Structure 1
Amino acid sequence: MSRSHLIVRLAGVFLLAATFLSTTHASELRTANEPIDGQYIVVLKDSSARLVNESAASRLPTVASVASSMARTHGAELRGSFSHVVRGFVVQADDKALEQLLLDERVAYVEEDGIISINATQNNATWGLDRVDQRDLPLSGSYTYNTTASNVHTYIIDTGVLGSHNEFSGRMGNGYTAINDGRGTTDCNGHGTHVAGTVAGSTYGVAKSATVHPVRVLGCNGSGTNSGVIAGMDWVAANRSLPAVANMSLGGGASTTTDNAVANMRSAGVTVVVAAGNDNQDACNSSPARSSAAITVGSTTSTDSRSSFSNWGTCVDVFAPGSSITSAWYTSNSATNTISGTSMASPHVAGIAALYLAENPGASPTTVENAIYSSASQNKISSVGSGSPNLLAYSLFDGGDGGDGGDGGSGGELSNGVPESNLSGAQGSETAFFIEVPSGASNLEISISGGSGDADLYVRYGAEPTTSTYDCRPYRNGNNESCSFDTPAGGTWHIMLRGWSSYSGVTLVASFDEPDDGGGGGAPCSGCDQYSGSLSGSSDSDVQPNGTYYYAGSGTHNGWLVGPGNADFDLELYRWSGWRWTRVAQSASASSEEQISYSGNAGYYYWRVLSYSGSGSYDLWLDTP
């Protein structure tokens, strides 16, 4: 499809759509450097669908249900949807279907799906581990470490891993593949196995006992798609075991959707480390290297100069050994290979992050990042490149700079009513916890008490709190602080303890009343889409789905409305006649329970919920052709 052809087609659609609804506008089509013909990532507005970790109380439909409905309505082939890191889905679409997707008001933007690939080149000799445990050259010939990080989970988002390799014996965790070639998570390229070996190999690894989770998003040729990489991140966010580090030694053209997925994976508590890229250019030109939610790593040589291929610039956060790195290989259970690239630098830092998390398992990604930056060796690298920080990754942390500290401060998930005791931390430290609250629970209370010093409590629903973004921050001196929520949303509640000054001996507890068993009825239909809203009084009305119209083929439109028992809400269905909207069906009983079943030709439709009398919330279920 040529750009000029698309522009001509869209111009005609704009004129038609302008007569539909005055608010109609086309969403932006974002291009990829290496697009996959006819394949698109459709990103929805926040008001159009909810992610799995967002409260069902919002009454928005899930991304999966919206994706299925939109693909069917607009004649696109649904290839997959995301539920944790991106509010969107992947389709194969022709010009007509693409036009309709761009005109759908639930869509924030559409992005061409693009090619993404590994960041490695061939070369030759081992020295990287030797470098990261010392401040200065010459190399000492040894690697010193204080922990093997056996309690940390590492997610290798790459070409897969040869799980039977001797480097990973007994330490392979569950995994995921986005590549449909029947190989599962097994590496048929070598890159992912090499990266995993540097992160967590028993011989070549920084964190020698960490669990390795293969997330295969690149094929045997070392390339894949943005949507496949996003699917891998979506799986990590949904299935991560904390403490966790994800390494992404891959890259492609700039992609807003990929960057957003990185940020949301990080919000799930996963520290993200990515390669800067191998084009000797500004790392801000590519994704995920440009993501501010990741630790972006450039490459150095054994003489502490920036590798000639390494990207540079303000999007690079730290450098690590990347030229001539020896690690595990995929050709046998004992094979090794020596290769170069920022792909080899990134896993050194991912391994260092795992070491930090081993000693500080409750540390938030922010804390891990700050610890790595503050402990890095300064001004050791020559020719760092314009805008790059002169920071070389260091693995020993000099006694825990930037750490959370803590005897017994395990961090991680809390259980209902079970206290975490004897927590401690340094001034400025940030320790993350979370608790899963079921839908329908009540009286959530999160509190800290006891001990000495001054810890501050931050609470946020659905994402990690920061010092500027939170749902509750009591602002009390000392360690007696509490946050209460009478009707908490179901899902993940995140908690941060931050040291206003150093503190110790603090107890943290989160508790809630379990929801009652049983309860209200379900949907009146199977496989239909649910929408919700509220009306303020007589004559108020809403347009559904989500304030816009939809296109449907010939068939039956079914709608079920349930509103307040003390009000009278009605339901109407409208169809575009070619020059105006015409009401084609109405249900207007004396109650707020209405049902419409209308058989119609292909065309544009919308539903209207209106109040004849009374106010309150309603639910609407739709089953359309």
Structure 2
Amino acid sequence: MNRVTSAALLALTLALASCSSNTPQDASIPMPDQNNTVSAAPIYGNSESGQYIVVFRKTATVQGQSISKLSAGQMVQRLGLDRQGAQIQAVYTEVLDGFAAKLSASNIQKLASDPRVAYLQAVQTYYATDTQSNPPSWGLDRIDQRDLPLSNSFTYSSNGTGVTAYVLDTGLNTTHTSFGGRASIGYDVINDGQNGRDCQGHGTHVAGTIGSSSYGVAKNVKLVGVRVLGCDGTGSNQGIIQAINWVAQNAQKPAVVNMSLGPRSRSVDQAMDDAINSAIGKGITFVLAAGNSNDDACYYSPARTPAAITVASSTRTDARSSFSNYGSCVDIFAPGSDIASTWIGSNTATNTISGTSMASPHTAGAAALVLSANPTFTPQQVRDALVNTATLNKITDPKGTPNRLLFVGQGTTPPPTTDPCSGTNCSKYTGSLSSGQSAYQPNGTYFNYAGGTLKGWLKGPAGSDFDLVLYKWNGSAWQAVSRAETSSSDESITYNAGSGYYTWEIVAYSGSGSYSFWMQK
């Protein structure tokens, strides 16, 4: 994936040569991914304690295997790091190739200048996304009917049998009677002696909405707690990525993952986004809370991940919840205000809380219904089934969010698959590549963008490994600003872009065939 074909190089060189003085115009400018133009790896965020996630490029191998397959000591040696300033805390081999470590300033700079390193991501804190309240629950009642008023019933034609839901959260109260013996502990990254037990309540509440007998959408789904948030409801991206790595290695498919968590202020976490995209590429559906900051979800990881299903919150009167994030990175609304569900403290405890954390598990439960009826569905097909059967134009004050409300009342037979975007701001391009080749879109050239959220979706041939890279002209050269390089043929990127010139590169890392690419700006 580090070589550009002569045809693609010529096409973009000609395009550069035809531009005015304030555009890229020097025909001798090196192209992206040429060996002599590798720039410093970007450092996303700042960690005062020196804790970073280091992600390798695909080509960073030793004797045919990723550097991350080496022992911690061997990695430090191979990377030429000062041992005293490199305390490796976690290693990722499944959804990312890399490691998390506490690093000295000199080691950070050494890694940033190493061509084997794709980027460094600062370790940061994530939070459970809920707020406390007391009114009765109503969410199940709403999602099986098109219109208000509520009918005081929940009718369902499937119950999630055969599907496993992984709840990345504060753990589970597995003995709760509403789980009926279907809840278990899978993994715990907190290491505080709780061993997956929920000591905060949030995870048990979320799991109850997904699949408890009383409050759940999918009443016979298997529930697996993956504890990534502690008793205070917080955790780090370092640990969450460890958990995603574990799920990707151990998931019993068909499977859906719910992540009702996120940062409290605007924060783009490339490592988190990449880990989720990689797991989705392995056939696991991810459902994400949009966030509770009353802000554009495109500025928040992991909510901005386009290959996942991102969920905003609605009220019992079909309004956007006042706290809910919104915007084009959201796929669907679901009930999230004043939701009753299972809780901790006893095996019959309940609680009523609000948040996009409550909206997301309604949708994860609905995804389990789809997978129960269609166990071979891809994550994209699950998303299409939910989005295309949603009730349209019911939510007031959507603030630019696609106005779709979760609906499960017509069973789980999906409509035809649709394109990932539509409308005047969506463009589709097609092409064909052989292994090792690459091409640029749109149409072999670049485009001028005033700024905003840029999105790209790539669908390559089955069984291949096609990658997607977004470049920006920095005044003297093209610089890669975002990469989607999982092991699958389908990739996606969301990038909060400043004004300037951009181009997309589609790379056939392995395999050959036709591809489709969609750009939304």
- Normalising by structure 2, report the TM-score: 0.71
Q: Deviations along 1:21-43, whole A, 9 cap, x unmatched?
A: 998864222115xx462211011
- Mapped to 1, the partners of 2:36 and 2:153 lie a distance apart of 70
Amino acid at match of 1:93: L
- % identical equivalent positions: 44
Amino acid at match of 1:69: Q
Aligned counterpart, 1:169:
180
Distance 1:399 1:348, change over 3 A: closer
1:526-549 deviations in whole A, cap 9, x for unaligned?
xxxxxxxxxxxxxxxxxxxxxxxx
Q: Which residue of 1 is the match for residue 74 of structure 2?
A: 69
8 Å contact kept, 1:460–1:472: yes
Write the letter of the residue equivalent to 2:406: A
1:138 aligns with 2:149: yes
- Per-residue CA deviation, residues 230-284 of structure 1 (Å, 9 max, x unaligned), is 1111111010111100000001221011011110110111110000000000011
Q: How has the CA–CA distance of structure 1 residues 61 and 303 changed in structure 2, closer, same or farther, with 3 Å as cutoff?
A: closer
**Aligned in 2, Cα 1:23/1:355: closer, same or farther, shift over 3 Å?**
closer
Residue matched to 2:193:
182
Match of 1:401 among 394, 414, 418: 414
Residue 332 (structure 2) pairs with residue 332 (structure 1): no
- Give the 3 Å change call, closer, same or farther, for CA 204–347 of structure 1 in structure 2: same
**Matched residue SS, 2:127:** strand
Alignment partner, residue 402 of structure 2: 389
1:254 corresponding residue in structure 2:
268
Aligned to 1:438: none
Unmatched segments (≥5 aa) in structure 2: 1-34, 418-460, 466-485, 492-505, 515-521
Shift of 1:103: 2.9
Q: Is the 8 A contact 1:197 1:328 kept in 2?
A: yes
1:194-221 deviation digits (Å, cap 9, x = unpaired): 0000001111000011001111111110
Structure 2: distance between partners of 1:100 and 1:285 = 29
Q: Deviations over 1:392-412 (max 9, x none)?
A: 0001346623279xxxxxxxx
Q: Which amino acid aligns with 2:90?
A: G
- Cα distance between partner residues in 1 of 2:377 and 2:512: 20
On the 8 A contact 1:45/1:106 being kept in 2, the answer is: yes
Measured after TM superposition, the shift of residue 355 of structure 1 is: 0.3
Answer yes or no: is 1:239 the counterpart of 2:250: yes
Query: 1: CA distance between counterparts of 2:151 and 2:255?
Result: 30
Structure 1 pair 300/86, CA: closer, same or farther in 2 (3 Å)? same
8 Å contact from structure 1 (residues 71, 77) kept in 2 = no
Flag the 1:47–1:67 CA change in 2: closer, same or farther, 3 A.
farther
Q: Secondary structure at the match of 1:287?
A: coil
Between the aligned partners of 1:464 and 1:222, the Cα distance in structure 2 is 33
Letter in 2 for 1:338: T
The 8 Å contact of residues 218 and 365 in structure 2, kept in 1 or not, is answered as: yes
What is the match of residue 92 of structure 2? Answer: 82
1:108 and 2:118 are equivalent in the alignment: yes
Q: Which residue of 2 aligns with 1:459?
A: 463
Question: For residue 405 of structure 2, what is the amino acid of its counterpart?
Answer: L
Shift of 1:102: 2.2
The amino acid of 1:98's aligned partner reads: I
Q: Is the 8 A contact 1:458 1:472 kept in 2?
A: no
Which residue identity does 1:71 align to in structure 2? V
**Contact 1:24–1:103 (8 Å) recurs in 2:** no
Change (3 A) 1:243 1:398: closer
Deviation string, structure 1 residues 447-494 (Cα, Å, up to 9, x no partner): xxxxxxxxxx943468555699894779xxxxxxxxxxxxxxxxxxxx
| Shift in alpha-carbon separation, 1:22–1:67, aligned structure 2, 3 A | farther
Match of 1:360 in 2: 374
Bigger relative CO (Cα 8 Å, ≥ 6 apart): 2
Q: Cα–Cα, structure 1 residues 150 and 61, in superposed 2: closer, same or farther, change >3 Å?
A: same
Query: What is the CA–CA distance in structure 2 between the aligned matches of 1:285 and 1:388, rounded to whole Å?
Result: 14
Task: State the Cα deviation string for residues 270-301 of structure 1 (Å, max 9, x = none).
Answer: 11000000000001111100111210000000
Q: Which has the larger radius of gyration?
A: 1
Question: How far apart, CA to CA, are the structure 2 residues paired with 1:340 and 1:95?
Answer: 42
Name the counterpart of 1:196: 207
Q: What is the correspondence of 1:487-502 to structure 2 with a 5 Å cutoff? A: none
Q: Give me the whole-angstrom Cα distance separating, in 1, the residues matched to 2:172 and 2:139.
A: 21
- SS of 2:49's partner is strand
Contact 2:174 2:181 survives alignment (8 Å)? no
Secondary structure of 2:174's aligned partner: coil
Q: Does the CA contact (< 8 Å) of 2:61 and 2:67 recur in 1?
A: yes
Relative to structure 1, is the Cα distance of residues 207 and 95 closer, same or farther in structure 2, using a 3 angstrom cutoff?
same
Letter in 2 for 1:154: A
Distance in 1 (CA, whole Å) between partners of 2:197 and 2:110 is 39
Greater displacement, 457-466 / 180-189: 457-466
| Distance (whole Å) between structure 1 residues aligned to residue 269 and residue 74 of structure 2 | 25
Does 2:342 correspond to 1:321? no
Code of the aligned partner of 2:397: S
**Structure 2 equivalent of residue 31 of structure 1:** 45
CA contact (8 A) 2:311 2:332 kept: yes
| 3-state SS of paired residue (1:459) | coil
In the alignment, which residue of structure 2 is the partner of 1:302?
316
Structure 1: how far apart are the matches of 2:405 and 2:66?
A: 46
Match of 1:144, SS state, is coil
> Does the CA contact (< 8 Å) of 2:281 and 2:490 recur in 1?
no
**How many residue pairs get matched?**
393
Q: Secondary structure at the match of 2:207?
A: helix
How far the C-alpha of 1:165 sits from its partner, in A, is: 1.1
Separation in 1, partners of 2:173, 2:164: 17
SS across alignment from 2:328: coil
Cα pair distance change 1:23/1:317, threshold 3 Å = closer
Aligned counterpart for 2:59 among listed residues 14, 39, 47: 47
Contact 1:36 1:115 in 2 (8 A): no
Residue pair 2:373, 2:412 contacting (<8 A) in 1 also: no
Residue 128 of structure 1 deviates from its aligned partner by 0.2
Map of 2:129 onto structure 1: 119
